[in-house]
Structure 1
């Protein structure tokens, strides 16, 4: 275990530290079922919803402006997934929320602790890590990623008075485990809208890392958003590995080759939900002179992608920072029931970024129009392809 270090400066990132860049990856490829269109043809766009008078604000942003909450009595622990602080995406988003909670709620430095998972570690190691935090009086404790699900099934009942938060998963029947889950498909929908408008061929692609339900949510939203913008758009998709093989999140070479295959089929805007394998996707996109959409974090600003960031026209956002902050804040208020059941667009749990300057005001307005429709419930985004 180690004490958390002040600041969020990100060191040079290796491929190992990027293993869990995001949950953002089926073995089979080809055109998504139901897609139509002619590769190479310009898109014919559907009439988009009107943009709202003012950009929509999520509940997570508004909560920060509420009554002052005193968390000085808390001892909080954060159990990172593989890569830990410094991965420039999934874990760093959790770290940002952790840091913000500490600063805003007056939590003492000596009452904070960070621990990290190791690659291929046994489940017993995760359990020991969580038990040690609980025995040392840390409460609440946050597990970053579904990798902690099985361990919490065992550990949470042993410490019924400890409040656990679990990012990306839930533990059925454990009243002291709060699921911090997201409507990833809603952010991916907005990514699909941008992709359709940026495509010159009306032909876009999705690269998934591992064929699991979490990643299918990204595919489903992306395809639906692209088709909402341009009904005849062609959507290619390819997963790197099946559900039993998580190397799909850490194989940039395979990501590169897979992306080349989709580009060869005609896709000219690619959206990788593939962890570190996305590095290879962005490289292929750069080599081919086409475009890409980032995933989870604003990937235009990631140091590891500095050489390819000019191809990233937008990113879908998964606000793990908001979920972690809101969970700690609610724990300080002893009001975990106030948290949203799902961190969606309305709760500011997902969203999008347009760093890089390629998305003009007109397209920004179109995306905001779709976002407002989703928040209002007039568009329901599917979570399965």
Structure 2
């Protein structure tokens, strides 16, 4: 009888301990299935980088078992970034996704302070054991975009307008210039920036002024990488083409980050896509399925991280010969036959 009672007590203790563990794990899983997205200043309606991130987040919300209180916040002032990331890191979210280089430093610091917290950092290469850094190879995409601009330009004059003058955007600019000169070494490229502070991402009026100046000086194609300021360039190209609707003098714009071809069909030559939406979606999927890995993940042509946008909105602008030439350059970048210069490594 004593042996029976002893075994019974052990069994009951084991049973209740296991039950408690299961309940605890389920509660823990529920807490950790809360996903928090921090958008940069452009916000979810910038028709560009942040919008792409937001769309990936929404699709993940729809497809996976993440809690209903998963949320996004938008950094509108520089001081908000540390506050948001610090607050969310204190056990509120299982996975924190921070978009943009402006959030990189504080994420790096919080990752050290909260080693059990998991982060996804978009557009950075910070190495911490609890961060997945998505490093998009914008110089590869911009090289191809520059080549496309040189192939299609009738004036042999093209332009680049960046948002904030920082190494990341100069990486776009150097890739664009290199690609254009790969096609036409004598092509003239005008390069300028909206500003030197974060406000440069939200100043479409200044971007429009810069674009009009370029178009009036015979640049017929402008590649813009300026966040919400990019809208000013789209407005400028529309105004220019309304004043002069001759096909031989038509002006074009090249979009960035998201596929922006639909914004002005037939006038957006193409867009340099960074597949932020799909990479965020994959990160959430990995997290939910307990397959989440950290480290710096490279997102270039070979990784389906960048591409040029070719669809029904711009299809009529390219001949079969153009497409063959463009695809050949893309494959040569993937195979390393073309060595794309990287501003991060070579400067300018």
Q: What is the TM-score with the length of structure 2 in the denominator?
A: 0.79
Paired residues of 1:313 and 1:359 also in contact (CA < 8 A): no
SS at match of 1:200: coil
- Deviation, 1:340, is 6.3
- Deviation, 1:229, is 2.0
CA displacement, residues 349-374 of structure 1 (integer Å, 9 cap, x when unaligned): 11111333322332122211111111
2:14 is aligned to none
User: Which protein shows a greater Rg?
Assistant: 2
Separation in 2 of the partners of 1:149 and 1:202?
Answer: 38
Q: Which runs of 5+ in 2 are unaligned?
A: 1-28, 242-250
1:373 is aligned to 332
- Select the residue among 320, 326, 329 that pairs with 2:276: 320
CA displacement, residues 259-291 of structure 1 (integer Å, 9 cap, x when unaligned): 222223321111111222222222222333311
- Select the residue among 103, 121, 125 that pairs with 1:148: 103
- Deviation, 1:341, is 2.6
- Deviation, 1:339, is 7.2
- Deviation, 1:335, is 4.1
Separation in 1 of the partners of 2:183 and 2:171?
Answer: 19
CA displacement, residues 141-186 of structure 1 (integer Å, 9 cap, x when unaligned): 11111121232233222321111111112435x3212211210011
1:297 is aligned to 258
Query: Please, which moves more after superposition, 191-200 or 135-144?
Result: 135-144
1:343 is aligned to 299
1:51 is aligned to none
- Deviation, 1:221, is 1.1
Separation in 1 of the partners of 2:41 and 2:295?
Answer: 26
- Select the residue among 172, 187, 192 that pairs with 1:233: 187
Match runs of 1:1-385 below 5 Å = 74-104=33-63, 106-110=64-68, 112-118=70-76, 120-122=77-79, 125-172=80-127, 174-242=128-196, 245-289=197-241, 290-302=251-263, 308-337=264-293, 341-354=297-310, 355-357=313-315, 358-384=317-343, 385=348
Using a 3 Å threshold, how does the CA distance of structure 1 residues 121 and 224 change in structure 2: closer, same or farther?
closer
C-alpha RMSD over aligned residues: 2.4
- Deviation, 1:342, is 1.4
Separation in 1 of the partners of 2:268 and 2:86?
Answer: 41
Using a 3 Å threshold, how does the CA distance of structure 1 residues 337 and 190 change in structure 2: closer, same or farther?
same
1:12 is aligned to none
Paired residues of 1:330 and 1:339 also in contact (CA < 8 A): no
* Greater relative contact order (CA < 8 Å, ≥ 6 in sequence): 1
Q: Which runs of 5+ in 1 are unaligned?
A: 1-70, 303-307
Paired residues of 1:345 and 1:375 also in contact (CA < 8 A): yes
Structure in which a larger fraction of residues adopt helix: 2
- Deviation, 1:228, is 1.6
Separation in 1 of the partners of 2:92 and 2:212?
Answer: 51
Task: State the number of aligned residues.
Answer: 303
SS at match of 1:142: strand
Q: What is the TM-score with the length of structure 1 in the denominator?
A: 0.72
